[in-house]
Copies of this chain bind each other. A is one copy, B any other.
Amino acid sequence: MCQSLITPTLLYKPSFHPPSSPPPPPQPPSSFATMSILSLSLTFLLLFHGSCLALRPVQQTQNQCQIQRINALEPNERVEAEAGYTEFFDSSEQQFQCAGVEVIRHHIQPQGLMLPSYINTPLMVYIRQGRGYYGVMMTGCPEMFQSSQQMEERGSFQDRHQKIRHFQPGDVIVIPAGDPHWIYNDGQDEIIAVVMLDSTNAANQLDQFHRRFFLAGNPKQSGQETPEEGSGNIFRGFDLQMLSEVFNVDQETASKLQSPDDTRGHIVMVDRGLQVVRPPIRMQHQQHGGPANGVEEAVCSAKLTANINDASRPDFYNPEAGWTVHLNSFKLPILQMMQLSAERGVLYRNAVMSPYWIMNAHEIIHVTSGSMRMQIVNNEGQSVFDDVIQEWQVVVVPQNFAVMKQAGQEGCRWISFRTNDNAIMSTLAGRTSAIKAMPMSVIMNAYQMSPEQAWRLKNNRMETMMFNPRSRY
Instruction: Judge whether A295 is part of the interface by a CB distance below 8 angstroms.
Output: no
Please state if A3 and B25 are interface contacts (CB–CB under 8 Å).
yes
Report the Cα distance A399→B365, complex, angstroms. 30
Q: Chain B residues with Cβ under 8 A from A78's Cβ?
A: none
Instruction: Judge whether A65 is part of the interface by a CB distance below 8 angstroms.
Output: yes
A38, A51, A214, A461 pick with most chain B CB within 10 angstroms: A51
Report A351 CB to chain B, min CB distance, Å.
11
Instruction: Judge whether A388 is part of the interface by a CB distance below 8 angstroms.
Output: no
Instruction: Judge whether A282 is part of the interface by a CB distance below 8 angstroms.
Output: no
Report A340 CB to chain B, min CB distance, Å.
12
Q: Chain B residues with Cβ under 8 A from A406's Cβ?
A: 242
Q: Considering the complex, which residues of chain A in the window 165-195 have a beta carbon less than 8 Å from any beta carbon of chain B?
A: 176-180, 182, 184
Instruction: Judge whether A283 is part of the interface by a CB distance below 8 angstroms.
Output: no
Report A411 CB to chain B, min CB distance, Å.
17
Report the Cα distance A430→B246, complex, angstroms. 8
Given contacts A49-B51, A68-B12, A162-B437, contact A6 B21 (CB under 8 A): no
Q: Chain B residues with Cβ under 8 A from A91's Cβ?
A: 18, 20-21
Report the Cα distance A118→B377, complex, angstroms. 14
Q: Chain B residues with Cβ under 8 A from A216's Cβ?
A: 446-447
Q: Chain B residues with Cβ under 8 A from A24's Cβ?
A: 2-4
Given contacts A429-B247, A451-B157, contact A55 B440 (CB under 8 A): no
What size tier do the contact residues of chain A reach?
35 or more
Given contacts A42-B43, A404-B242, contact A65 B3 (CB under 8 A): no
Instruction: Judge whether A390 is part of the interface by a CB distance below 8 angstroms.
Output: no
Closest to A139 in B: B426
A41, A217, A379, A426 pick with most chain B CB within 10 angstroms: A379
Please state if A17 and B23 are interface contacts (CB–CB under 8 Å).
no
Which of the candidate stretches A252-260, A312-320, A325-333 sits at the interface with the other chain? A252-260
Which of the candidate stretches A221-229, A285-293, A301-309, A341-349 sits at the interface with the other chain? A221-229
Please state if B180 and A434 are interface contacts (CB–CB under 8 Å).
yes
Instruction: Judge whether A57 is part of the interface by a CB distance below 8 angstroms.
Output: yes
Question: Interface digits, A1-15 against B, CB 8 Å rule (1 contact, 0 not)?
Answer: 111111110111111
A55, A94, A406 pick with most chain B CB within 10 angstroms: A55
Q: Chain B residues with Cβ under 8 A from A135's Cβ?
A: 437-439, 442
Listed from nearest, the 6 A-B pairs whose CB atoms lie closest are A21-B223, A232-B381, A237-B377, A178-B359, A36-B36, A236-B381
